Amino acid sequence: MTLDDQRENPRTTRVRQVALDAAVGLLLSGGTDEVTAAKIAVEADLARTTIYRHWPDRSSLLLATIDHLIEPHGPAPDSGDFAADFERTLSNLCNRLTMKKVRPIFAALADRASHDETFAAAQRRFVLGLLDQTIAVIDRAKMAGELPSDVDGVELANRLAGPMLYRWLVILEPIGQADVDEAAAGFRAVLS
Amino acid sequence: MTLDDQRENPRTTRVRQVALDAAVGLLLSGGTDEVTAAKIAVEADLARTTIYRHWPDRSSLLLATIDHLIEPHGPAPDSGDFAADFERTLSNLCNRLTMKKVRPIFAALADRASHDETFAAAQRRFVLGLLDQTIAVIDRAKMAGELPSDVDGVELANRLAGPMLYRWLVILEPIGQADVDEAAAGFRAVLS
Amino acid sequence: MTLDDQRENPRTTRVRQVALDAAVGLLLSGGTDEVTAAKIAVEADLARTTIYRHWPDRSSLLLATIDHLIEPHGPAPDSGDFAADFERTLSNLCNRLTMKKVRPIFAALADRASHDETFAAAQRRFVLGLLDQTIAVIDRAKMAGELPSDVDGVELANRLAGPMLYRWLVILEPIGQADVDEAAAGFRAVLS
Amino acid sequence: MTLDDQRENPRTTRVRQVALDAAVGLLLSGGTDEVTAAKIAVEADLARTTIYRHWPDRSSLLLATIDHLIEPHGPAPDSGDFAADFERTLSNLCNRLTMKKVRPIFAALADRASHDETFAAAQRRFVLGLLDQTIAVIDRAKMAGELPSDVDGVELANRLAGPMLYRWLVILEPIGQADVDEAAAGFRAVLS
DNA sequence: CTTTAATCGAGACGGTACGTCGTGTCTTAGA
DNA sequence: TCTAAGACACGACGTACCGTCTCGATTAAAG
């Protein structure tokens, strides 16, 4: 466990780090088309060829950039009150969405996903990642017997939080407290 | 209808046509990155510079390609039975979505929309276009007094059909009859 | 004589005039590469295609421009004193050379002359044109018996004035009064 | 001599070589306008962009082509008899001029020299290069005391050999033995 | 004073070249 | 070993100009 394969050359680790940091910056500021070995090399003060040693092509570079960009979410709220916890996770989600990073990443993934299964998988992972706190709360409620045990956590999370993602990602409109409230109400309705 | 159809030089019309046809083919088969003046020129047997005469850069070329790709939808079903008509439009929508063209177009728009307001507007238009039959049915029901007059047609269409789009475009899962049924049920619930 | 084929369409005459005026301006200010149908069209406010109606290609356009540029020289000085007249023509030549137009024209002709006999002929005409006053004075001196009748006027003009042209066009150095004096001395030497 | 020959990448050396060889061919056969990155690339079977890596634009490419074209002259003849040596260098010059390469090079330089000081300098170097054997002989004669020490070698070379260059480059007439003889006579006149 | 024919304006089109940027492969040297 | 440095073939970018080709709109001279 402790022996996780960290025995990587520290130079390698450093290069990967600074390259991806630069790539993330470029992705956020200029979109997919800016994630370029040449630009990363300039930005991170590396040789362009070094980038190619770590990622063989644009696709994998972009994918790695996105993966690097997705910071792990904190633990789901756990106050004992599931309805409150659920509402809390929705607020978190709302913040995360509007922190502006989500839209370009989602779009970049979607654009490639149409013609590259690797990106389709990444897109699914990404969206699930957005919902994972929500799913966690649902699962806890299930285990506590406050939700029927045959409820599918992912399914329910999609049903309740989906409209928020839809608004933000598909019809490009802002999400408000009203959307959070409605989803929270939906949760309480199944909570019984 | 009126003959304001520009009396445009037929050569010009033809060039625009074959160029966009080729561009559509490239977009559908290979995605955004294939929509290239050079490739269109080869595909459509035109001079590359001719492409630039009609569309000054990649962006406008891509936008024009997408506009060319979006065929106008037929009229909304109108049988007198609003619930049936609504269900029908959802089936249409479902078919249209899965006819495979929608996903790459949406994704292409979304990718640019993150950094180009023109594309954001196009994305909104595109999604509204997908829903227009649905909205039309809702509006007819409102005028017939079967829906409260304070219902917002676009809002309602998004609420009811949104989950289908969400499934297809965001979480990349297939849409089934179950989704149509559920949305139709939602419509009947507000109909009374 | 009076009936010279002036029966040309006045529009045509005007177009030719303004086009060549513009072309001359471009040639003098920017060199050969500026003599372009497109640029002339802008400068002279003509349609580019109109230029092509008058001159079929760049070569003939450039040639016409140069011909238009070469203004006919005034008559050779004629004071009765041949030595003085000769020195006067050399001063004129010196001024004409250094009025800056000559070098680029000569060079433009020479560049083409290497691979196009039409331009070679134009180059010869151009240089002879520079010397014609000088030749005229020599010929007058011959007819007055002050020079042997077997002297070749062109040959002598080249021998005497050639060094000035050489300095200016070949080794790119300024011409001074010393050069004029020396040539004039050479003339007086054969005059006796 | 010293091995400062750069230890340059042999690929690079080779590319430069074949590119310039092709460029020289194009320059001699078709003139300035043929010296084109695209045409060189085809002719030398290189990528067009590779040409741009070595020479950033048309001007420097043309300049490099001309430099590559100018082969170094052999040493000046040195028989002890200055008059004979001088006549020999003039014959050499005559041959070099008529070997056909000189005219297009001179013209190409002159055309650009009118508007680009770099080319003007190159033109001066080129002409001086043509005369260097001649100048060398003059300088040797000076050091041997057969010429007054206040004679300017370059000046004298221009005075004596200039007429030959003038004939060939300016009035586009062939040079004959007569021209060589006359110049040689001029040399003997100052030699005394 | 019209009518007819030459000329012009406007601009599309297939081309060639420009000079820039990016890609992915490769090789040589240096830390 | 890995990185730096950079050459290379390839191909797209967007621009400029070339020479050809319609098509109308002017305008000239002739009936």
What percentage of chain D reaches a pLDDT higher than 90? 75
* Of A145-159, B65-79, B113-127, D132-146, minimum mean pLDDT range: B65-79
Query: Do C and D make contact, counting contact as 3+ CB pairs within 8 angstroms?
Result: yes
pLDDT computed for residue C100 by the predictor: 67
pLDDT tens digits, residue range B138-182?
999 999 999 998 999 999 999 999 999 999 999 999 998 999 999
Q: Of C30, C107, C114, which has the smallest distance from its Cβ to D31's Cβ?
A: C114
pLDDT computed for residue A2 by the predictor: 37
Is pLDDT above 50 for D127?
yes
Mean pLDDT of C144-172: 95
Task: Confirm whether any atom of chain E, the nucleic acid strand, is less than 7 Å from CB of B42.
Answer: no
Q: Of D30, D127, D171, which has the smallest distance from its Cβ to C171's Cβ?
A: D127
Q: List residues of B whose CB lies inside 8 A of any A CB.
A: 30-32, 103-104, 106-108, 110-115, 120, 123-124, 127, 158-159, 162-163, 165-167, 169-172
A166·B171 Cβ contact <8 A: no
pLDDT, chain D, mean: 90
What percentage of chain B reaches a pLDDT higher than 90? 74
pLDDT tens digits, residue range A39-53?
999 888 888 999 999
pLDDT computed for residue B114 by the predictor: 86
Angle at C158 between CA C157 and CA C160, to 5 degrees: 65
Q: Beta-carbon neighbour count of residue B185 at 10 Å?
A: 12
A163·B162 Cβ contact <8 A: yes
Estimate to the nearest angstrom the gap between the alpha carbon of D131 and the chain centroid: 9
- Kindly tell me the burial class for residue D85, based on how many C-beta atoms sit within 10 Å of its own C-beta (0-12, 13-18, 19 or more): buried
A110·B169 Cβ contact <8 A: yes
pLDDT computed for residue D3 by the predictor: 36
Mean pLDDT of D27-56: 93
pLDDT computed for residue D4 by the predictor: 36
pLDDT tens digits, residue range A160-175?
999 999 999 999 999 9
Q: How many CB pairs under 8 A join A and B?
A: 91
With bands split at pLDDT 50, 70 and 90, how would you rate the model's confidence at D7? low
Touching subunits for chain C (3+ Cβ pairs under 8 A): D
pLDDT tens digits, residue range B26-38?
998 888 889 999 9
With bands split at pLDDT 50, 70 and 90, how would you rate the model's confidence at A11? confident
Angle at D55 between CA D52 and CA D58, to 5 degrees: 90
CB of B93 within 8 A of CB of B133? yes
With bands split at pLDDT 50, 70 and 90, how would you rate the model's confidence at C168? very high
With bands split at pLDDT 50, 70 and 90, how would you rate the model's confidence at C30? confident
Long-range contacts of C123-132 (CB under 8 A, 24+ apart): C123/D172, C124/D171, C124/D172, C126/C66, C126/C70, C127/C165, C127/D170, C127/D171, C128/C154, C129/C70, C129/C73, C130/C93, C130/C96, C130/C97, C130/C102, C130/C165, C131/C93, C131/C157, C131/C158, C131/C161, C132/C73, C132/C76
Q: Of D31, D159, D171, which has the smallest distance from its Cβ to C111's Cβ?
A: D31
CB of B81 within 8 A of CB of B140? no
Record the pTM.
0.84
Is pLDDT above 70 for C4?
no
As ranges, strand F nucleotides with an atom below 7 A of a protein CB are 1-22, 27-29
CB of A135 within 8 A of CB of A100? no
Task: Confirm whether any atom of chain E, the nucleic acid strand, is less than 7 Å from CB of B11.
Answer: yes
More confident residue, A1 or C143: C143
With bands split at pLDDT 50, 70 and 90, how would you rate the model's confidence at B106? very high
More confident residue, A11 or C3: A11
pLDDT tens digits, residue range A97-149?
987 689 989 998 999 998 889 999 999 999 999 999 999 999 999 999 899 98
* Of B80-84, B107-111, C5-9, D26-30, minimum mean pLDDT range: C5-9
pLDDT computed for residue A100 by the predictor: 66
Q: Phi/psi zone of residue A177: left (φ > 0), alpha (ψ -120 to 50 degrees), beta?
A: alpha
pLDDT, chain A, mean: 88
Mean pLDDT of C103-111: 92
